[in-house]
Amino acid sequence: MLILLSACSVAQPAQKTPLALETQLVSTQTALPAASPASFPGSPSQTPSLAFDPPAHECTDTSGSVEAFQIDRAGVELTGQIYTPPCYEEDPDLRYPTLYLLHGATETDRQWLDLGVAEAADKLISESAISPLIIIMPRELTWVALPRNPFGDALVTELLPWIESRYRTLEDRDFRALGGLSRGGNWAVRIGLLHWGMFGSIGAHSTPLFYGDLERLAGWIEVIPPSRYPRIYLDIGKDDNNLGAAQNLDKALTGLEVPHEWIINPGLHDEVYWSAHLEDYLLWYSEAWGIIK
């Protein structure tokens, strides 16, 4: 497991202007419809044994592939990028864990790629530090406030089934992870807890939560059996303008006795910070899946 880190005083290089506070973008009292474990194909009734079988052949490739996707379903357009690991095409019987990564406010589905997530995944996979995985990076096309914003609901009801019908995924909540940075982390917490039967891990990087969601948190947690709590990872820079809001989320989860990682690192609310911690994120998401030796 990761060791909790405390903030330390480290001089910071010049940083980009922080993204706008996410709490200024959304104000709503409406939550997405919750989902039980049985409401999605592949959601188990019990926690499975987390075993990931290595490929039958030795993969000599060192680079995965990235391709764009576009879905038009039920009047909702979904676009984004998908990373598949090295040698994905070589073994048609091998299935992979999935990681959904959500971008920040005013950014696009390219943000995680621009930060270097594909290169970080290639490196860790080639070192056998993490299992090969599929990374899905959808784009939020509109910044309208909830409940009029269809992004969260569309990810669960349209994108996830589409991915699992076209890519060789492990269709089990413990092999699905959902994470995001800044506004994307707001979505990850909201979607992951409301649809806890679908995602086994939730990562929230520099996350302030949407307006009103902190007050809704206890109600979301109340319906989840303690044995089925998702793994949760929270991290933020000590000079992030959203630090107070993130600390409130940590305190709320602690008060509700929900196990989670809480890490404060040196840094701001910017690409320099997130890029520096890409490998930390991938290692944590993959920890639940085991490591291919």
**Does a structural domain hold residue 174?**
yes
Model pLDDT, residue 143:
80
Distance CA 97, CA 51 (A): 11
DSSP-derived secondary structure for 77-134: EEEEEEEE-TTGGG-TT--B-EEEEE--TT--TTHHHHHTHHHHHHHHHHTTSS---E
45 exposed, middle or buried (CB, 10 Å; 0-12, 13-18, 19+)? Answer: exposed
Tokens of 250: 């940590």
Distance CA 179, CA 278 (A): 12
Amino acid at 81: Q
**Does a structural domain hold residue 261?**
yes
Amino acid at 273: Y
| Whole-prediction pTM | 0.82
Residue 120: C-alpha distances to residues 12, 47, 127, 155, 265 (Å): 23, 29, 11, 25, 19
Distance CA 203, CA 180 (A): 6
Distance CA 139, CA 111 (A): 10
Cis peptide bond N-terminal to 147, omega within 30: yes
Model pLDDT, residue 46:
36
**Does a structural domain hold residue 52?**
no
**Does a structural domain hold residue 11?**
no
**Does a structural domain hold residue 116?**
yes
List the CATH number of the domain containing 106: 3.40.50.1820
The CB-side HSE value for 76 (13 A sphere, CA atoms) comes to 19
Q: How many domains does the chain have?
A: 1
Distance CA 218, CA 202 (A): 17
* Residues paired with residue 80 on neighbouring β-strands, in sequence order: 69, 138
| Beta strands 201-205; 231-237: pairing state | parallel
Domain span holding position 245 = 30-41+61-287
Residue 94: C-alpha distances to residues 55, 120, 285 (Å): 7, 22, 19
Residue 113: C-alpha distances to residues 92, 98, 274 (Å): 26, 16, 12
User: Do residues 234 and 263 touch, judged by C-beta distance below 8 A?
Assistant: yes
DSSP state, residue 232:
E
Model pLDDT, residue 27:
30
Residue 248: C-alpha distances to residues 152, 156, 209, 253, 293 (Å): 23, 27, 10, 9, 39
Residues of the chain below pLDDT 50: 1-51, 292-293
User: Do residues 201 and 230 touch, judged by C-beta distance below 8 A?
Assistant: yes
Which tens digit of pLDDT belongs to each residue from 12-69?
333 433 333 333 233 333 344 444 343 333 333 333 334 455 555 578 888 999 999 9
Model pLDDT, residue 52:
52
**Does a structural domain hold residue 192?**
yes
Q: Give which of 161, 180, 55 is closest to 112, Cα–Cα.
A: 180
Model pLDDT, residue 262:
98
**Does a structural domain hold residue 142?**
yes
